[in-house]
Structure 1
Amino acid sequence: MTSSAQFVAHTLASLMNEPGKPRLTWYGADYERIELSGAVLNNWINKTTNLLVEEFDAEASIEFALDLPAHWRLIVWTLATLRSGATAHIGPSTSSDVAALITDRPSDKQAPEIVAVSLHALARRFDGELPAGAIDAASAVMTYSDGLGFVSITDETQTALAFPTESISYADLPQWAANTPAASGGRVLIRCNSESPQQLLPLLHNVLGIYSAGGSVIIMGAAAAAEITDDSERFQRIVESERVDTVIELG
């Protein structure tokens, strides 16, 4: 039986059970579609984890603020933070103790360390103004190894995910992930119907449930959801072409 301390590592390792299988699919504005297989998603998570460890000494007691919208990159940065054993504050953090603020809007943020994340599909650098000393994630992440480097042993007593209304410890993470309908696995489409930050908790809740059950995630961002609001036929074509088993509506 997998212990709570091993839950994240075990869940992410399961992505490689079928490395060519789609695990994370994103629908964005203007018909944008990105698909990451288990192997590719695993590489992204490993690279990002390595950055967090090598740049910020990520481990238990280290905290990161993830100020990102409902997007496939939020999934990668959250899973990487969890793999490092650190705490992920989802949304703008009120804590002064965060090791870094990870955001797609660095120009209007103040923090000791800032990591700028581009939301563009194939971005090689951040397209915008960067504060002095900020790390450009688009270029920096790619310099790290596809293989996971050193990570500390997970401390089950530490907070894994901190939301404005709820916090989940590493000890409680397995049961929390299992306590969602999405934990049945399969191909699950999560449709985000607004830009509300309140969607981030159920989004990540369902994603962890899906992956812990060996399933695949399809995320439809708010822009894509708005584009097909009055086009039920197009939405149905997506559901059929992606072989969706379950649709979850957020917002």
Structure 2
Amino acid sequence: MNASDRTPADLLRSALAADPARPLVTFYDDATGERVELSVATFANWVAKTANLLQGDLAAEPGERVALLLPAHWQTAVWLLACSSVGVVADVGGDPAAADHVVAGPGGFEAGLACRGERIALSLAPLGRRFPTPPEGYADYAVEVPSQGDRFAPFAPVDADEPALVVGGERFTGAELVARARADAERRGLADGSRLLSELAYDTWDGLSAGLYAPLAAGGSVVLCRNAGELSGEELAKRVESERVTATAR
């Protein structure tokens, strides 16, 4: 990654320029058997579409707060980078009543109704399936995002020194987030091409760092495992081998 990168969106742009075809996020849900692998290019395309939805349809502006009521999931990772691209604050597990917009998955829909702004619902079903009927008060992400543009340009430049992330009581500017992610990558021994398998939830900085930001900052990739407790030790060992994992976070 480039030393001049100061926001997560900068890190993604650098990854895209370096090697768009390499894997960036490989997601497993061991309760459903789902496996999804996204290259840097595919992930960046999802981020661009989601950022266009956020900036355009939701009219989100830099400095506004988006409550993300979502688990560790590849679509959550997309939303985190989309928020960074627009310059809004990603408030992971934040209070919907204090947020300007809310993005929720199963288990978060009722709480999310406290938000008076725009509300987006994610089914988190395999293949990103639509809801048969969206939850009341929400727009269906799977319906809204496909028609969005494949390229994104913010209406205003994103200030790396403005708030970017809130999680587990910790607050980060974009620049602080990138610096912390780089430090975590070094501490975990991550380098260009590293593959970090993470079983951690996205409700703490450690979980977000291992499950997205540190591998991205290092030029590596993440194998993000949800419900990995469903696996036996032998099954997990086989995954580590088949996915060419070089580091783990459990």
Using the size of structure 2 for normalisation, the TM-score is 0.87
Q: 1:172 to 1:183 in 2, by over 3 A?
A: farther
Distance 1:234 1:167 in 2: 37
Per-residue CA deviations over 1:62-121 (Å, capped at 9, x if unaligned) read 11000101111111111110111110100032652x221100136413122210011012
- In the other structure, the counterpart of 1:36 is 38
* Partner in structure 2 of residue 245 of structure 1: 246
* 1:1-16 aligned within 5 A: 1-2=3-4, 4=6, 7-16=7-16
User: 5+ unaligned residues in a row in structure 2: which ranges?
Assistant: none
Moved more, 113-122 or 44-53: 113-122
CA contact (8 A) 1:102 1:114 kept: yes
> What amino acid is aligned across from residue 154 of structure 2 in structure 1?
F
SS at match of 2:127: coil
Q: How does 1:29-68 map to 2 (within 5 A)?
A: 29-68=31-70
Conserved 8 A contact 1:15-1:42: no
Q: Compared with structure 1, are the counterparts of its residues 173 and 90 closer, same or farther at alpha carbon in structure 2 (3 Å cutoff)?
A: same
**1:227 matched residue in structure 2:** 230
Match in the other structure for 1:118: 123
Give the aligned partner of residue 203 of structure 1.
207
The residue that corresponds to 2:178 in the other structure is 174
Counterpart of 2:120 in structure 1: which amino acid?
V
1:143 is paired with a residue whose SS is coil
1:85 to 81, 84, 87: 87
- Contact 2:49 / 2:149 at 8 angstroms: preserved in 1? yes
SS in 2 for 1:168: strand
Deviates more, 1:122-131 or 1:64-73: 122-131
Match of 2:190 in 1: 184
Q: Is the 8 A contact 1:101 1:114 kept in 2?
A: yes
Quickly say closer, same or farther: Cα 1:140–1:94, change in 2 above 3 A. closer
Q: What is the DSSP-based 3-state SS (H/G/I as helix, E as strand, rest coil) of the residue aligned with 1:152?
A: coil
- 8 Å CA contact 1:27–1:219 kept in 2: the answer is yes
Counting only pairs closer than 5 Å after superposition, residues 133-152 of structure 1 correspond to structure 2 as 134-152=138-156
Q: Taking every aligned residue pair, what percent have the same amino acid on both sides? A: 31
Quote the residue 2:76 is aligned against: 74
Deviant stretches of 4+, over 6 Å:
none
The answer to whether the 8 A contact 1:182-1:188 is kept is no
Distance 1:126 1:149, change over 3 A: farther
Residue 197 to residue 19, structure 1, CA distance change in 2 (3 Å):
closer
* Structure 1: gaps of 5 or more residues: none
CA distance in 1, matches of 2:168, 2:155: 27
Q: How many residues align?
A: 237
